[in-house]
Amino acid sequence: MVQLLDAEGGVIAGDIFGLVEVNKYEFLPDESIIIMGGGVEPYSTVIMMVSDRSIIFNGSVTADENGEFQVIVPIPFNTTYGGYQLMIYSKGLEFDPDLVFNIFVNSTLSNLVDIIDIDLTTLIEAISEINITIQQSILAKLQNALKKIEQAEHHLLLNQTHVARNMLNAAENILNACINEINAQSGKHIDDETAASINLSLREVMKKLEVCKSSLDKPHGKQKQSNGTLDNDGVSVNNANNSKGKGKPSDGSGNQDDKDKRNQNDNNGRGRGRGRTQK
């Protein structure tokens, strides 16, 4: 149980005790950190920050009339492998966080490529349900690109990064060809809205491929298990502010869906901590 106190040591929101929980301690990129709690002043702003000595990404939400809140912040795909501090505090208190959880982002290259594999597989399944004239041509290209990505995964496991890069380049070229075909047929054998939707998904996959290719030139940590006490050895250039939550959403709210179903490092424990403002 967490009892949130103000700077003078008084209990926020009278006799309400807030239990603050984090959905898990270890994450993959594109998953969401979910913080649930209560015991803050009704309609006050609750802020969550993820840091490795500088703010990496954050989100905020306005608590409801009962002082309860839920903040959901997606982890950017290019968040660097390593440990981070998750800090939670209520606006109006001193800047020092009321609560700190240690989390771990397991963004190894193999995991990044696997996420792309899942994204492309999902897109293939969606296109299979669309009745368009060029469906088979698009699916053939996407299946070919998926095969290259799976080959890249295989070569990464064998430490054959040069071959893996070639496979990722090949997949990117195939996806480019797919976009070109869709653009050429837009308004003819595929309606403009469907074409734009598919191309948007393809470009998102290609952005992730670029992240993977650039990561091939950088040292990546070995996969390891999170035990809730982690060093902050990750460095990220991200600065996102995407969140959504229970209560009245404040600036920084976003619409990205939670992708926890992708977690291959399932760590279902709930984080609990005791916090008070620092004097």
What was the pLDDT predicted at 98?
55
pLDDT tens digits, residue range 112-133?
A: 999 999 999 999 999 999 988 9
Residues 113 and 103 placed together within one structural domain of the fold: no
Q: Which of 38, 34, 43 is nearest to 18 (CA)?
A: 38
Q: Is residue 169 part of a domain?
A: yes
- Read off the pTM: 0.71
Provide Rg for the chain, Cα atoms.
Answer: 22
Residues 118 and 187 placed together within one structural domain of the fold: yes
Boundary (domain end) residue, out of 215, 237, 272: 215
Residues 118 and 144 placed together within one structural domain of the fold: yes
Q: Which residue has the higher pLDDT, 267 or 64?
A: 64
Residues 202 and 114 placed together within one structural domain of the fold: yes
What was the pLDDT predicted at 266?
40
What was the pLDDT predicted at 40?
79
Residues 228 and 253 placed together within one structural domain of the fold: yes
* Percentage of the residues of the chain whose pLDDT score is greater than 70: 68
Domains identified in the chain, total number: 2
What was the pLDDT predicted at 279?
30
What was the pLDDT predicted at 3?
45
